[in-house]
Chains A and B, each alone.
Chain A
């Protein structure tokens, strides 16, 4: 009897795809909209600021943003919960198939969406096709000291684990993959598995309200998986079948 290894692999991959590996839970009842996650993300991932005009024109490059809406009119006005919006690391990501250059691909190992900066040619199709609108494009050479002299000094802070992107390249939240890899390497060299809570993403680490939890969504006992089973849990735009890996906990 012969076993088709490819087929077995494929079955495993599908199961993994449905379940995911890394996941995040965001408690909107706790999020105070304080922007600490945004700043932490920018510092961790070398995200450029775009300055006033571009920022107001929809070119800000936040990988994570807090959305909020209004209901009603004064005095019966209410603000919706703050909803931090970041790449949902979809299991079936609409951004992936449309890139003609294979610059945004699915990582089989980590079950997240990768953006390969040096493969990106800037068609921006992925961003159009992202239902969550969480991709940001380098409209200019924001990190080039010839364009912005101040970068010469500010660049001292750049995280050497994260590439600096140049103009014409798409980028997005990576679930701090550099941290995932670091933790995995460390665990591997110590001959063990990565423990739950051993590391976390920059946003989750900063969040003063502890509204963001990150970890192995496929380990039922992990904190993030437990939270994801909450009756308050919901996925954003779930009806599209994108299998988002970020779970939101509603108010109430």
Chain B
């Protein structure tokens, strides 16, 4: 932290900001403008009994929710939403709340270490100079085309830095991946938007202003894209208009948490969402009169309803409701798109919206704006792209792999073969904060700070306003960790030459400032005449965003003109059950190491601390399976064993399983707990390259073992067990 200004100047700067607003935010304690002090020597600006609040960005998923963290005497005490940030407007989800248990997690990588692949976390500590040298050597001594960067979906500033770095050395662009992106089927949505609107940006669904919402598998109240924003949207849709209560219908084979809030949950046969969407379109088009648009011409609604195992009259009624609705909206997402016909489904649903005429209208479909200081939407890699990358690794095309913010050994289906591919890479350097599976399979772990100890920014994906959410450390790093950006910048400096010239930043903050420079003078939530003030405000308010929405309106003409092939999805495997994995609403992809997230009851099943398999009670009864019986689920790709939860709201031909548990590493709270449904997923893609994760059929075998699931609910009171009335 080379450049210093006096504390008085710093305070002036801080006060200038504080005078304009009541938001209690300020420069972080590790601002490079003041000395870092360990909290044994308490910084002078903290007082006993007085809390200090810092605005930053949540890193538990990539939605870019703004946080205000309450700190006291150098410790982060409580996370609250940043009321100014347009993404979450002061709200947080459970995972955001529990991020503190990641910060103060007993199982973090405390020092840079030389790791023996696949072993326990190594105790062979390195110092940071040595670590930086190792990175520098890797960057210089390797053929650039054989260097690979594998990044997580957050944080964006590091992705930008690594992109610049890769470009500077001539290495392939970094690849981003996250299981959430996979289960969200982001690539499919993005491809559908590209096909129909000519823009690969995410479509924006204006949930809050709609009055009739139909969702095809989009679990937007759980983990989909930006759950806090969607939950707010849902609440406003439901109750925002005092005149009218919003009506919500969910098509899904299993009643997810999102579906549980629906006024009507319609369990359809998996893979037929496409047909149902087209059938609805046809019925609506018929009701509206005139020519049937090409998109819906090929479908026979009665046959589609039969194939989807949905009562035709239900579809007719729904079509009528949508036709009469003032602001209808149809949303595709999640498992509906994780099918062989997922792209067709996404496009059919967008076409349905086009037919309903809601493009560009309140409560309708828009094209998401790019975030501030963003050139193009970089969606995370699809599973297909990951497969290509894995093939490259396997063939020896990657000599050095840098991994940050992602845990592919856990998040990718086992059958994709990432483990074998990783073994073929001579040098793997992980920047993991936690000793996750991939970190332990690396040669080095150079731990990054926890998100709350980090600088950075993150772009909002779901937001009407372009949002760049800013992150700053709220506490001094607890362990001997170092910002990965700083490591790369230091390594670049060590290499000298062109790389050092291309990355001429003293540290991470300087790099972030370089990106923020473009925004200086722009009109937004705040304006500043020069970069230093801008950065101070940026930290203080937790980011920068425009005051007005800048949504683009897609063209409806293309969407309804495209002729779709109305066919149901194909399923891999020979089993009798459709297999439906879903992301645990409470754990997400990386929450398993936080004890309070484990202790949270799953909203629909109330199970805590484990993995379960949801099965329809009638089916289970036929098979002689009871609650807590451990069953083996066998697919073409493998098998897992998990206890059964007799779930009353799931189709009899479907079994469902949450993703989020089943770690073999990742700390004491996660390791050895539950199973990972990704282990039974086969390698099949939809046309957009997303994994057809819901496109498997599996068989089920009773193992005779019993594992009693911990539930918050009472089996007596809720299911009447032991109270059977004759």
Contact = CB atoms under 8 A, between A and B. Distances in A.
Interface residues of B, number: 77
A123 interface: no
Given A68-B260, A208-B93, A209-B232, A34 B603 contact: yes
Contacts of B710: 52-53, 55-57
A32 to B, nearest CB: 5
A33 B78 contact: no
Residue among A50, A52, A73 with most chain B CB within 10 A: A52
Residue among A43, A55, A56, A210 with most chain B CB within 10 A: A43
21 contacts: A29-B238, A32-B258, A34-B221, A35-B600, A38-B600, A39-B98, A42-B98, A49-B599, A55-B608, A56-B609, A60-B712, A68-B713, A70-B649, A70-B718, A74-B616, A74-B617, A154-B595, A157-B76, A206-B80, A208-B92, A210-B235
B478 A156 contact: yes
Given A154-B106, A156-B75, A156-B478, 13 more contacts: A29-B238, A34-B227, A39-B600, A40-B94, A43-B79, A43-B98, A49-B599, A52-B610, A55-B712, A56-B709, A70-B649, A75-B267, A157-B77
B235 A211 contact: yes
Interface in A2-56: 27, 29-30, 32-36, 38-40, 42-44, 49-53, 55-56
A155 B104 CA distance: 8
A243 interface: no
Contacts of A66: 601, 603
Interface in A137-164: 149-150, 152-160
A59 to B, nearest CB: 10
Interface in B317-337: none
A74 B608 contact: no
A39 B597 contact: yes
A27 B239 contact: yes
A43 B97 contact: yes
B585 interface: yes
Contacts of A160: 49, 72-73, 77
A160 B617 CA distance: 47
Contacts of A79: 255, 260, 604, 649
B601 A32 contact: no
A213 to B, nearest CB: 12
A112 B476 CA distance: 38
A40 B652 CA distance: 36
Those 7 A-B pairs whose CB atoms lie nearest each other, nearest first: A56-B710, A33-B603, A150-B106, A52-B609, A39-B97, A208-B231, A39-B94
Nearest to A38: B600
A240 B81 CA distance: 38
Nearest to A57: B710
Contacts, number: 199
Contacts of A153: 104-106, 478
A208 B227 contact: yes
Contact of B708 (A32, A56, A67, A210): A56
B712 A82 contact: no
A77 B95 CA distance: 29
A144 to B, nearest CB: 15
A207 interface: yes
B218 to A, nearest CB: 14
A192 to B, nearest CB: 15
Interface string A75-86: 101010010000
B97 A40 contact: yes
Interface in B594-633: 595-601, 603-604, 606, 608-610, 616-618
Contacts of A62: 599, 601, 712
A2 B394 CA distance: 96
A184 interface: no
B500 to A, nearest CB: 38
B78 A43 contact: yes
Contact of B231 (A51, A75, A209): A209
B608 A208 contact: no
A74 B267 CA distance: 10
B638 interface: no
A63 B426 CA distance: 51
A34 B106 contact: no
A150 B227 contact: no
Given A74-B618, A157-B75, A206 B81 contact: yes
A211 B261 CA distance: 13
B91 A208 contact: yes
Residue among A29, A35, A73, A155 with most chain B CB within 10 A: A35
A153 B648 CA distance: 41
B228 interface: yes
A129 interface: no
Contact of A51 (B81, B88, B609, B617): B609
A170 interface: no
Contacts of B651: 74
A39 B232 CA distance: 18
A154 B231 contact: no
A133 to B, nearest CB: 10
Contacts of B708: 56
A205 B606 CA distance: 23
A35 B94 contact: yes
A65 interface: yes
Nearest to A41: B97
B711 interface: yes
B100 A157 contact: yes
Residue among A33, A44, A155 with most chain B CB within 10 A: A33
B712 A150 contact: no
A3 to B, nearest CB: 42
A180 B221 CA distance: 31
A131 B569 CA distance: 51
Nearest to B603: A33
A156 B105 CA distance: 10
A153 B238 CA distance: 42
Contacts of B222: 34
A194 to B, nearest CB: 16
A150 B668 CA distance: 9
A206 B606 CA distance: 20
Contacts of A36: 91-94, 96-97
B103 interface: yes
Contacts of B77: 157-160
